[in-house]
RNA sequence: GCCGGUGUGGCGGAAUGGUAGACGCGGCGGACUCAAAAUCCGCUGACAGCAAUGUCGUGUAGGUUCGAGUCCUAUCACCGGUACCA
């Protein structure tokens, strides 16, 4: 309201202002409507829920936010989807739990601490306070009594206890693995902190360095995680496919190669034993013990190993690197032919994956082919396909295709003539007999490294004793508290520099020992928070209440979490199950992955070619006479700015739109409505100020129509049998809409089309000018049902209008979802499209009961159809009931 | 590199093998107004035509089908993930 008045003041028209003030009692004012509804919900504790075995439960969960400082549109979109589903399910009569919490540990708090010289803890708590207020202003049906932040010790206590348990079970273990090392800051960098192989702050070239780290044995659950995907029909196929490929089950052979002059043989895994006779060398990772050993007496090799350790450790970076290698001067013996095979070190072989060594078959593997071509290593053809010519100077995809039914092994002695399966079998049997090989199922999935060399995380509850090794912190000493009141400079973790915290005595032998100073990966906290929501205040990790609420019925979050978070989350659930805490195999039955929120970018170029990004709120768009965008100018100076294209909302491109300012200007309901309307949930959503104005316009029109209708004197009972054709058709549209919206909200999650259908219905009811008693009764049915159907999306407006329509304030949340009146759906006339050879030529109207030939005859009688059929032979007529008639002519 | 996704009017999008462009935005025209804003009404894919209507049209090139935006093959562009951002 205020912004509106302010704009009137600017125009300086006193009379208009008075007119608006006089009207305002009837005008839609989001601020007051939303404040009143939110006050009511809060006073009534309307969304606090308890277990009720008599009622069907519905656990609606959104991915918990990282408290970065301010809510962004991605959050709004995510939580509005959850809220629509939660409110809709409640109207289906379910006992709905929708909780909220904070994923409060993590790297950004440390970066903010460096930048603003604050402690990560106080920065985080301040952000949580602010973002909670912002969330509350959006009117979500959240049970706030269950809220927690993962950095609270009564949360991470249970994580530490669980870790101790997993250590004892052998699921948690320590091994060496490679990290990004910044040699200047003497610190470990996250992958995102490595830019073009250099540290983001120091600019120094990053090195790969091996350090001891804690791991969870997710690989022991690989098969179960893979099989479990088949039990999740409510998950998107894309997510399940990505997880299947990530787990990467493959069937192959583990083969031992004796190495000349070495006692220890070399083991490789291959899925292509059929190409064994085509092996021309073996490639080893730089970190392989044999490579390390060889480097000791070969300075050139040592230099090469050091060289390929430069750069970061991310897979994307490693895979895009040029393939390089160096001969080690050692030879392995081919297990069948006895041939000498050179050993090479190669940068494309990773120590952390498989055995750290591969057998190279340049003739039938594209990467080996390129490597062999580059270093002049032999390329042997051992697979042939009839009709295809093999050319060892040019790679062709069929060389590596084991699935071709016409492929056969050649140049391989007794294996010749066999297909893939036969050759696999023969090689497996031969090697098994000689004790040089074994069949193996291999998974691409690697164990989960949970150690982070950082301060702002959950301390790993381990004491390192020089005599007893790694000793778990005894139960009575848990939690190991993270000191929160620290000075954080950035480079060294305060845990490492604080001797008081670090130095302890060993709980086993009592001698001087040190705490583990690493903290957990923050995926640890986000892997079990869903379960904690079910058991607020429990002294154990979860209690019996978990088995009322779990599994989660609907989980909603960004598609960027499709693999890592969602796989760890499923894994953790199985760990909780194996501890007897939960009783299902999977944590979530239905999953919805939402797309990003994107916006136009604008910039001006500086003299040095750098760009100043300008926020869309400060820019005016210019259009030509047809409405096409032709340019943009900065509002403040009227001078042109460049349009940079549509990108994900981000700080770096300055194209973020602040939800709070949108709520202040248009109201939470308009913001909610636009986020649900502008795109289907799983696709990206482009923010548009004009679009949200359209939503506010719709709400104002709806508001006015309901208020005008409510002023009518007492209405008669609706008599469906006495309606005229127009009234009947509107009522049919209403019930078709009830059917569609129910399906769109409940099953399809197509919020955008549900809203479009409601707008269409509203346009139709607006066109009904008939003020007869029965027309008013139909109008009332439409408007009242619309308030109910809009409630999940715009609950504040609905809360108010429900009362305007004469209902007590208390009843809307639990009002049953409107029922479809099947009788109202019946049509007596159907509109059909008539095609000739698949092209639309006419539309006809026929009785709903018309038989096939009657429909066909009506179609043939249509003048346009007659004209098209003149002089042609009808070959076939296809009649699809209620849809089309297709006449095929020759 | 690999895995997954997306591509439709001026724009966001709709169409679950059956009338391509619902709904919203923008634009154009009209009503109201001294005027403007707001509001209301109408039109709005391109081309040809007075019109009826016709031709073309869903990234590109093929294919399956009575019928393809939708299914298949190839290809291009963009987006997400790629194990230490969350």
pLDDT at A258: 97
Question: In chain A, what percentage of residues exceed pLDDT 70?
Answer: 97
Q: Would you say residue A806 has pLDDT above 70?
A: yes
Closest residue to B84 (CA to C1') is A190
* Section A27-48 average pLDDT: 95
How many other C-beta atoms are found inside a 10 Å radius of the C-beta of residue A474? 12
Take residue A420 and report the two structure tokens written for it: 């893939």
Closest residue to B65 (CA to C1') is A838
User: Dihedral of the CA atoms A685, A690, A693, A698 (nearest 10)?
Assistant: -80
* Section A406-427 average pLDDT: 95
pLDDT at A622: 81
Q: What is the pLDDT of residues A222-275, one digit of tens each?
A: 999 999 999 999 999 999 999 999 999 999 999 999 999 999 999 999 999 999
**Who wins on pLDDT, A206 or A406?**
A206
Closest residue to B15 (CA to C1') is A753
**Who wins on pLDDT, A22 or A601?**
A601
Distance A621 CA to B26 C1' (A): 11
Nucleotide nearest to A648 (CA to C1'): B79
Distance A252 CA to B63 C1' (A): 37
Closest residue to B20 (CA to C1') is A840
Nucleotide nearest to A105 (CA to C1'): B86
SS3 A679: coil
Distance A531 CA to B22 C1' (A): 42
The Cα–Cα gap between A719 and A823 comes to 13
Nucleotide nearest to A880 (CA to C1'): B18
Q: What is the pLDDT of residues A535-544, one digit of tens each?
A: 999 999 999 9
Nucleotide nearest to A764 (CA to C1'): B23
Report CA A676 to chain centroid distance, whole Å: 17
Distance A398 CA to B62 C1' (A): 22
* Residues in Cβ contact with A688 at an 8 Å cutoff, skipping those fewer than 6 apart: A674, A678
* Residues in Cβ contact with A563 at an 8 Å cutoff, skipping those fewer than 6 apart: A242, A243, A246
Distance A488 CA to B17 C1' (A): 62
Q: Are strands A619-623 and A629-634 parallel, antiparallel or unpaired?
A: antiparallel
Nucleotide nearest to A834 (CA to C1'): B19
Closest residue to B80 (CA to C1') is A560
Nucleotide nearest to A65 (CA to C1'): B86
Residue A534 DSSP class: T
Distance A690 CA to B25 C1' (A): 6
The Cα–Cα gap between A105 and A794 comes to 33
Distance A752 CA to B59 C1' (A): 25
Q: Would you say residue A78 has pLDDT above 80?
A: yes
Q: Would you say residue A16 has pLDDT above 70?
A: no
Contact of A275 with A363, CB cutoff 8 Å = yes
Helix axes A795-804, A30-44, angle to 10 degrees: 90
Report CA A463 to chain centroid distance, whole Å: 37
Distance A627 CA to B14 C1' (A): 21
Nucleotide nearest to A625 (CA to C1'): B27
Distance A17 CA to B40 C1' (A): 21
Report CA A790 to chain centroid distance, whole Å: 27
Q: What is the pLDDT of residues A146-176, one digit of tens each?
A: 999 999 999 999 999 999 999 999 999 999 9
Helix axes A751-767, A725-743, angle to 10 degrees: 170
Nucleotide nearest to A521 (CA to C1'): B84
Partnered with residue A188 across adjacent β-strands are: A181
Distance A21 CA to B23 C1' (A): 33
Take residue A809 and report the two structure tokens written for it: 């304030």
The Cα–Cα gap between A410 and A444 comes to 30
Nucleotide nearest to A600 (CA to C1'): B11
Q: From edge to edge, which strands make up the β-sheet containing A829-836?
A: A839-847, A829-836, A884-889, A874-880
Q: What is the pLDDT of residues A440-491, one digit of tens each?
A: 999 999 999 999 999 999 999 999 999 999 999 999 999 999 999 988 877 7
Take residue A688 and report the two structure tokens written for it: 């548009």
Distance A794 CA to B27 C1' (A): 30
pLDDT at A781: 96
Distance A554 CA to B64 C1' (A): 38
The Cα–Cα gap between A379 and A279 comes to 9
Q: Which nucleotides of B are covered by protein (CB under 7 A)?
A: 1-6, 10-16, 18-20, 22-28, 35-41, 53-55, 66-68, 79-86
Q: Would you say residue A328 has pLDDT above 90?
A: yes
The Cα–Cα gap between A212 and A288 comes to 16
Nucleotide nearest to A763 (CA to C1'): B23
Partnered with residue A370 across adjacent β-strands are: none
Distance A622 CA to B10 C1' (A): 12
Distance A776 CA to B40 C1' (A): 21
DSSP notation for A755-812: HHHHHHHHHHHHH----SHHHHHHHHHHHHHHHHHHTTT-HHHHHHHHHHTT--GGGS
Q: What is the pLDDT of residues A367-377, one digit of tens each?
A: 999 999 999 99
Closest residue to B66 (CA to C1') is A888
- pLDDT band at A331, cuts 50/70/90? very high
pLDDT at A212: 95
pLDDT at A732: 96
Phi, psi of A53 (to 5 degrees): -60, -20
Closest residue to B9 (CA to C1') is A628
Helix axes A30-44, A668-677, angle to 10 degrees: 90
Distance A684 CA to B6 C1' (A): 9
Question: In chain A, what percentage of residues exceed pLDDT 90?
Answer: 78
Q: Would you say residue A382 has pLDDT above 60?
A: yes
pLDDT at A619: 84
The Cα–Cα gap between A849 and A890 comes to 30
**Who wins on pLDDT, A49 or A617?**
A49
Q: What is the pLDDT of residues A823-868, one digit of tens each?
A: 999 998 899 999 999 999 999 999 988 888 899 999 999 999 999 9
* Section A707-717 average pLDDT: 85
The Cα–Cα gap between A91 and A599 comes to 34
The Cα–Cα gap between A294 and A301 comes to 8
The Cα–Cα gap between A681 and A698 comes to 21
Q: Are strands A519-520 and A325-333 parallel, antiparallel or unpaired?
A: unpaired
pLDDT at A726: 92
The Cα–Cα gap between A780 and A766 comes to 12
Distance A631 CA to B11 C1' (A): 14
Nucleotide nearest to A681 (CA to C1'): B13
Q: Would you say residue A86 has pLDDT above 90?
A: yes
Which of A667, A549, A601 minimizes the C-alpha distance to A76? A667
Distance A885 CA to B51 C1' (A): 27
Nucleotide nearest to A64 (CA to C1'): B86
- pLDDT band at A284, cuts 50/70/90? very high
Nucleotide nearest to A452 (CA to C1'): B84
The DSSP element (H or E) to which A258 belongs, if any, is strand A249-259
pTM for this model (two decimals): 0.93
Phi, psi of A663 (to 5 degrees): -65, -40
- Listed ranges A3-17, A147-161, A194-208; the one with the highest mean pLDDT: A147-161
| Least trusted range by pLDDT, from A166-170, A666-670, A867-871 | A867-871
How many other C-beta atoms are found inside a 10 Å radius of the C-beta of residue A642? 14
- pLDDT band at A26, cuts 50/70/90? low
Looking at every residue in chain A, the average pLDDT score rounds to 92
Closest residue to B22 (CA to C1') is A756
């Amino acid at each position: 309201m205020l912004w509106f008045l302010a704009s009137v003041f600017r125009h300086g028209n006193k009379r208009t202002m008075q007119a608006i003030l006089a009207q305002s009692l009837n005008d839609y004012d989001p601020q007051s409507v939303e404040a009143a509804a939110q006050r009511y919900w809060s006073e009534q504790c309307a969304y606090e829920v308890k277990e009720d075995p008599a009622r069907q439960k519905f656990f609606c969960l959104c991915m918990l936010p990282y408290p970065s400082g301010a809510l962004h549109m991605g959050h709004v979109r995510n939580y509005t989807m959850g809220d629509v589903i939660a409110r809709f399910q409640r109207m289906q009569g379910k006992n709905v739990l929708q909780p909220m919490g904070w994923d409060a540990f993590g790297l950004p708090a440390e970066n903010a601490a460096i930048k603003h010289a604050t402690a990560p803890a106080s920065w985080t708590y301040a952000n949580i306070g602010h973002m909670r207020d912002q969330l509350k202003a959006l009117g979500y049906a959240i049970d706030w009594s269950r809220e927690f932040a993962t950095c609270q010790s009564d949360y991470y206590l249970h994580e530490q206890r669980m870790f101790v348990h997993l250590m004892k079970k052998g699921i948690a273990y320590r091994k060496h693995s490679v990290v990004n090392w910044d040699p200047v800051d003497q610190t470990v960098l996250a992958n995102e902190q490595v830019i073009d192989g250099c540290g983001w702050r120091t600019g120094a070239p990053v090195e790969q360095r091996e350090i001891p780290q804690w791991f969870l044995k997710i690989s022991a659950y690989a098969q179960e995680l893979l099989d479990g995907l088949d039990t999740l029909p409510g998950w998107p196929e894309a997510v399940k496919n990505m997880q299947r490929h990530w787990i990467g089950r493959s069937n192959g052979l583990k083969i031992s190669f004796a190495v000349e002059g070495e006692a220890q043989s070399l083991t490789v895994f291959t899925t292509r034993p059929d190409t064994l006779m085509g092996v021309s060398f073996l490639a080893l990772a730089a970190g392989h013990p044999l490579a390390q050993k060889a480097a000791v007496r070969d300075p050139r090799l040592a230099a090469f190993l050091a060289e390929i350790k430069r750069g970061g450790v991310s897979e994307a970076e490693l895979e895009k690197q040029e393939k390089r290698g160096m001969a080690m001067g050692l030879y392995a013996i081919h297990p069948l032919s006895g041939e000498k095979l050179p050993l090479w070190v190669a940068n494309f072989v990773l120590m952390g994956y498989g055995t750290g060594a591969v057998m190279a078959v340049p003739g039938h593997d594209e990467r080996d082919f390129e490597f062999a071509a580059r270093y002049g290593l032999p390329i042997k053809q051992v697979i042939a396909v009839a009709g295809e010519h093999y050319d060892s100077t040019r790679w062709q995809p069929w060389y590596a295709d084991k699935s071709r039914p016409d492929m056969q092994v050649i140049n391989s002695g007794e294996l010749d003539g066999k297909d893939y399966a036969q050759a696999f079998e023969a090689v497996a049997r031969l090697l098994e007999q000689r004790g040089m090989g074994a069949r193996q199922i291999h998974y691409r999935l690697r164990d989960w490294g949970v150690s982070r060399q950082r301060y702002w995380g959950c301390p790993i509850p381990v004491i390192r004793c020089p005599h007893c090794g790694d000793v778990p912190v005894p139960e009575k000493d848990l939690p190991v508290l993270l000191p929160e009141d620290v000075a954080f400079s950035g480079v060294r973790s305060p845990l490492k520099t604080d001797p008081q915290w670090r130095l302890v005595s060993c709980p086993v032998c009592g001698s001087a020992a040190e705490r583990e100073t690493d903290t957990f990966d923050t995926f640890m906290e986000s892997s079990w928070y869903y379960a904690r929501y079910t058991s607020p205040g429990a002294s154990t990790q979860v209690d019996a209440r978990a088995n009322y609420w779990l599994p989660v019925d609907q989980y909603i979050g960004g598609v960027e979490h499709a693999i890592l978070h969602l796989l760890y989350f499923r894994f953790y659930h199985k760990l909780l199950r194996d501890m007897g805490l939960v009783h299902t195999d999977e944590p979530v039955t239905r999953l919805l992955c939402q797309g990003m929120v994107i916006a136009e970018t604008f910039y001006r170029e500086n003299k040095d070619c750098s760009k100043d990004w300008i926020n869309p709120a400060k820019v005016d768009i210019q259009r030509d006479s047809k409405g096409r965008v032709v340019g943009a100018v900065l509002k403040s100076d009227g001078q042109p700015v460049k349009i940079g294209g549509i990108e994900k909302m981000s700080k770096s491109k300055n194209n973020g739109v602040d939800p709070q300012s949108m709520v202040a200007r248009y109201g939470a309901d308009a913001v909610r409505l636009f986020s649900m309307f502008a795109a289907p949930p799983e696709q990206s959503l482009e923010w548009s100020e004009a679009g949200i104005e359209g939503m506010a316009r719709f709400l104002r029109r709806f508001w006015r129509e309901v208020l005008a209708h409510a002023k009518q004197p007492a209405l008669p009972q609706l008599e469906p049998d006495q309606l005229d054709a127009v009234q009947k058709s509107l009522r049919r549209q209403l019930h078709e809409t009830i059917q569609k919206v129910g399906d769109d909200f409940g099953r399809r999650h197509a919020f955008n089309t549900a809203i479009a259908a409601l707008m269409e219905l509203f346009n139709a009811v607006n066109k009904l000018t008939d003020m007869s008693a029965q027309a008013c009764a139909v109008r009332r049915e439409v408007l009242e049902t619309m308030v109910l159907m809009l409630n999940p999306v715009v609950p504040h407006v609905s809360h108010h209008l429900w009362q305007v329509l004469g209902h007590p304030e208390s009843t809307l949340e639990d009002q049953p979802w409107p029922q479809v009146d099947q009788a109202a759906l019946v049509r007596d006339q159907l509109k059909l499209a008539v095609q000739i050879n698949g092209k639309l030529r006419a539309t006809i109207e026929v009785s709903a009961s018309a038989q096939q030939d009657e429909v066909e005859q009506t179609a043939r009688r249509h003048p346009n159809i007659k004209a098209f059929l003149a002089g042609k032979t009808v070959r076939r007529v296809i009649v699809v009931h209620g849809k089309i008639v297709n006449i095929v002519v020759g």
